[in-house]
Amino acid sequence: MENRLRLLYALQLVDSSLDELLEMKGDLPQIVADLSETVKSKLARKKELDELIKKSIVSRDETDSTIVELKEKIEKYKSQQFQVKTNKQYDALAREIDFSQEKITKLQREMESLEGKSATAKTDLETLTPEIEASQTELADRKKELAAVNKEHEDEELKYQHQRDKLISRISKPDVQMYERIRKAKEGKAVVPVQRNSCGGCFNRVTPQRVLELRKNNALITCERCGRILVSDEIVESAKSTL
Ligand SMILES: [Zn+2]
């Protein structure tokens, strides 16, 4: 039992050190993640706009040549109208001319709408492009900052991580689970010393009877108020010397 408590408290010490390192990085990891996401979505938007503009240019060329063809057809029908012998044939050609004319009007309208969209896309790009550049610059700066902080504490972090792995391998799985559960619920502190007869986590008074029990180091005793695991000074000292 003594060993079990010692290992759990040692794990707490290591995790608290890792928490402190994480604290030093502050919001930087989140800022970098958010900025990466912003840049990614802005680049996707830019791609969409570029494609719309390109499509509009291709479509313009295609429509222009289709309209030229239709106009040629109309001319041909008109000259044929002079050669026909019956009213019926004349009317048939007139219908063809109307039909082609309608087609031209429809194509021109579609083209105008696409060109309108393309013009809006160009305006949007004018705003978007400098925005992307600004976000990319900020992202690069923040990444550099984060890399510097990471590098500064790299060795420490590795050391703690290594200690943590070793401890975890020596603690039973149910104990690790219990520890993680309390740690998650109680601001990172699952195992705390009893200081001046009070819980080191919530500072609630621990009864003398429980303090006596605790000093025997032969039972897992939790704080009646916050549920954290309580350990004696003896355990605290021996855990420190383990690390
Ligand atoms: Zn407590």
**The pLDDT of residue 234:** 94
Provide the β-strand partners of residue 198: 195, 205
CA 210 to ligand 1 centroid distance, Å:
13
Distance, in Å, from the CA atom of 36 to the CA atom of 102, rounded to the nearest integer, reads: 50
Q: What is the pLDDT of residues 80-127, one digit of tens each?
A: 999 999 999 999 999 999 999 999 999 999 999 999 999 999 999 999
Res. 66: pLDDT tops 90: yes
CA 221 to ligand 1 centroid distance, Å:
11
Cβ 117 vs Cβ 56: under 8 Å: yes
Give the largest CA-CA distance in the chain: 123
What number is the average pLDDT over the span 197-219? 94
CA 21 to ligand 1 centroid distance, Å:
25
CA 198 to ligand 1 centroid distance, Å:
8
CA 231 to ligand 1 centroid distance, Å:
12
Residues with C-beta atoms within 5 A of ion ligand 1 = 199, 201-202, 204, 223, 225-226
Cβ 219 vs Cβ 1: under 8 Å: yes
Res. 243: pLDDT tops 90: no
